[in-house]
Structure 1
């Protein structure tokens, strides 16, 4: 259903508020540079610091500005099942192609609770769901058997996964347990190359915020089985993948964007703060290595 380079977009702020003008420019640039879909209000979009009204406005603006040129996977995750459904209901009406739903964080549900959570969402809204597994942030891990059970139970609703577990064996677990039709997207830029080799078809990417054309070309090379070109591009991007996390994300990526686009502020919302001088130096070096500055 989805493939290629899919940036998890930052949410630009200006004077403490959502900078809609800068965001519209970012959306246009991403599409022009070859991104195959867009994700507003994910982790990189600082969704946890947005009010529901802001959250919905960011999704609405993204869909409006994209104007059907690429599909929008709206960030709808929450540790409150009813609030996740609220986001899904809004995103469905706004015209999103799918909902990105992270495993409930903080509550630490067991696998039975995860099945109940995602089942409730699938049964109360027909917007396709992209599961988002990032146990490093949520603590809760959506285990492969749970993914397979949900995908088999709701084949029209639960259509994909963004996997940031760091466990590459899961790509094969999911493919063999569900089938090739189930869309697997890497959630870790630095693991996109081996994930694609194992059967993933793209990446929901942090780095693509800053290097959309390179990330798009990398994914195209993977799809074409051009391993030599994919490896060459991966080597150019590799330091940037790690520089994006030299400080609490998305502070480094916002700093990088501010270097490329002065109209995008590096501001983040508390409890995050702008990245350190050491992180800025790492970002600067990685931008230069990638040939972006």
Structure 2
């Protein structure tokens, strides 16, 4: 369920900042048609932190409705409050999502024991599969391999989205956890090497705008057609980097609008639109990839 190219989906908004259901439906159709293996809705790239609790739930339900069971939906359910995580997970328990992506508690900076207890409490409150999400560059805390190992022993904690970009971390985790524990890259720029080492897939920002290529890239690695996978990776490496030229999802949302996938790249404060200078940089790359 948690392998291959999985998109960390942007949340389209109209010019007033309201969720745009029309564009969300269009994006989900795009990923169904492109072969994307699953959609993460309401993750970091989906601007979950600036949406209300009610909007968060509604957007997940919209995605389930629009997917029509043709593509699995994974819901972002991570907050820096264990109680909030349990509450939203409980609401989504019977919704039809295939699992939850739960980020480490940001801002609080808990200890390793605090993070262990946090994820343990969430997992024990639900039957839904739980994917841990470690992105210390954004959260201010780092879920260490030894803690990941402890958590992997909990039945419904089934994998991790590892977004440190540190490939040495992969070996440390892989050598500790059971072989059935999913190891998923959360860093497009190192996803090629991550998967060559034995990673199961990537939860990708880049897949928002080049879904076919990211799906083919992952398929080639699975089929051990490494030369072909490497060629795709090389063609996308500049894009991988430039989609983080400003804080995610600022660049990818601008790019999605520029290539016609969404009608507006509106974001909610404190997130702002891509600067003119960086628009010009990203524009060149989109043209080279023949996306515009």
Q: Any residues of structure 2 matched to 1:109-258 within 5 Å, and which?
A: 109-152=110-153, 154=154, 156-258=155-257
Please give the TM-score of this superposition, normalised by the length of structure 2: 0.97
1:146 is displaced (CA, Å) by 0.3
Aligned partners of 1:36 and 1:71 also within 8 Å: yes
Deviates further, 225-234 or 254-263: 254-263
**What is aligned with 2:53?**
52
In the alignment, which residue of structure 2 is the partner of 1:13?
13
Q: Report the CA distance shift for 1:89/1:288 in structure 2 as closer, same or farther (over 3 A).
A: same
Separation in structure 2 between the aligned mates of residue 201 and residue 222 of structure 1, nearest angstrom: 10
Give me the whole-angstrom Cα distance separating, in 2, the residues matched to 1:138 and 1:289: 34
Structure-to-structure mapping, 1:243-282, within 5 angstroms: 243-261=242-260, 263-282=262-281
Q: CA deviation at 1:288?
A: 2.0
Deviation at 1:196, TM superposition (A): 0.4
Structure 2: 5+ residue runs without aligned partners?
none
For 2:253 and 2:221, how far apart are their aligned partners in 1? 27
Task: Give 1:174 deviation, angstroms.
Answer: 2.0
Q: Which residue of 2 aligns with 1:2?
A: 2
Q: 1:227 to 1:249 in 2, by over 3 A?
A: same
CA deviation profile, 1:56-112 (whole Å, cap 9, x unmatched): 011111111112112111000000111111221122221110000000000000000
Where structure 1 has 5 or more consecutive residues not aligned to the other structure, the ranges are none
Q: CA deviation at 1:175?
A: 1.9
List structure 1 runs of 4+ shifted beyond 6 angstroms: none
Partner Cα separation in structure 1 for residue 126 and residue 136 of structure 2: 25
CA contact (8 A) 1:236 1:289 kept: no
The question of whether the paired residues in 2 share the 8 Å contact of 1:99 and 1:127 is answered with yes
CA distance in 1 between partners of 2:206 and 2:79 (Å)? 24
Query: In the alignment, which residue of structure 2 is the partner of 1:103?
Result: 104
Aligned to 1:288: 287
User: Are the counterparts in 2 of residues 41 and 59 from structure 1 also a CA contact under 8 Å?
Assistant: yes
C-alpha RMSD of matched pairs (Å): 1.1
Partner SS for 1:17: coil
**Counterpart-to-counterpart distance in 2, 1:89 and 1:291:** 44
How much has 1:8 moved relative to structure 2?
A: 0.4
